[in-house]
Amino acid sequence: MNRFLLKFGSVFLVGVLCILLTAGFAGAAVTYTVQSGDSLYFIANRYGVTVEDIKSANGLSGDAIYPGQRLAIPGGTSSGTGYRVVRGDTIFLIGRRFGVSVDSIKRANNLWQDVLYPGQVLNIPGGSSRQAVTVSRGFSRSDLDLLARAVFAEARGEVYEGQVAVAAVVLNRLKNPDFPQTIPGIIYEPGAFSSVDDGQINLWPDGTAFKAVQDAVNGWDPTYGASYYWNPATATSKWVWSRTITVKIGNHVFAK
């Protein structure tokens, strides 16, 4: 009888441990609400997981998703933002970019010195989701910082998709021979951006603007190839309305 109870108790404990472990893994997932223009590829890239990981975690057989759909992102964490170090980074610049202190980053990553190496992934405390951000794709650090400043100056207060859209317009102009072929050339082209004229381009952007730039660099284009945008409430040019409108996001109209 005692041997039976011992065996039963062992089986019971193993079962409890399995349940706890399963719950622990399930709790590690981040829940993401699909936005207009999202795809499984872009969501997976944003969180540093694979498309198959997301499909498996959500029982998806195809790639179709819809705005408002809630997806479990396996392996995510809600404690901060992941940032992948690139050449030229310092803890000071990363902290300034995300609006956190050097000491906070060092404590969150158990760093005793300021030495970083390319490819190192840092946890940025205070972020809203796990996102391994890599800023490269052939653009210089100063180019991306300037683009983030443009996004912040032109679209802060807009929905996130609208901020990505502004960055996408600048990148689309790079592909258009009618525009300068550098990010500084596009942004500082006379009359191109009101934020340059009124000096707001000099404001330091927040972390959201940098994330919007990264999503645009990674290929997310909510504008469907637009090279122009304007706010109908403030635009004075009649010429812009002659362009082919592709979409309206927040307060801005986007067109080719």
- Counting Cα atoms < 13 Å in the Cβ hemisphere of 199 gives 0
Q: 190 and 229 share a domain?
A: yes
Residue 249 lies in a domain: yes
Q: 151 and 214 share a domain?
A: yes
Q: 176 and 239 share a domain?
A: yes
The pLDDT, as a whole number, for residue 129 is 38
Domain that holds residue 118: 80-125
Residue 247 carries which side chain, given as an amino acid letter? V
Give which of 62, 81, 66, 76 is closest to 31, Cα–Cα: 76
Please count the structural domains in the chain.
Answer: 2
For 13-43, the pLDDT digits (tens) are 444 444 443 444 334 456 677 766 667 876 7
Six-digit token pair at 98?
Answer: 């995300």
pLDDT at 209 over 80: yes
Residue 152 carries which side chain, given as an amino acid letter? F
For 131-175, the pLDDT digits (tens) are 444 444 567 778 888 999 999 999 999 999 999 999 999 999 998
For 216-246, the pLDDT digits (tens) are 887 889 999 999 999 998 888 888 899 999 9
Residue 165 lies in a domain: yes
Q: 100 and 150 share a domain?
A: no
Beta strands in the chain (DSSP E): 30-33, 70-73, 80-84, 121-125, 228-230, 245-249, 252-255
Higher pLDDT, 36 or 1: 36
pLDDT at 248 over 90: yes
Last residue of a domain, which of 125, 157, 178? Answer: 125
* CATH code for the domain in which residue 105 is found: 3.10.350.10
Q: 118 and 200 share a domain?
A: no
- Average pLDDT on 45-58 reads 78
Number of other CB atoms surrounding residue 153 within 10 Å: 22
How many residues appear in the chain? 256
Q: What share of the chain is helix, strand, coil (3-state, %, to 5)?
A: 45, 10, 45
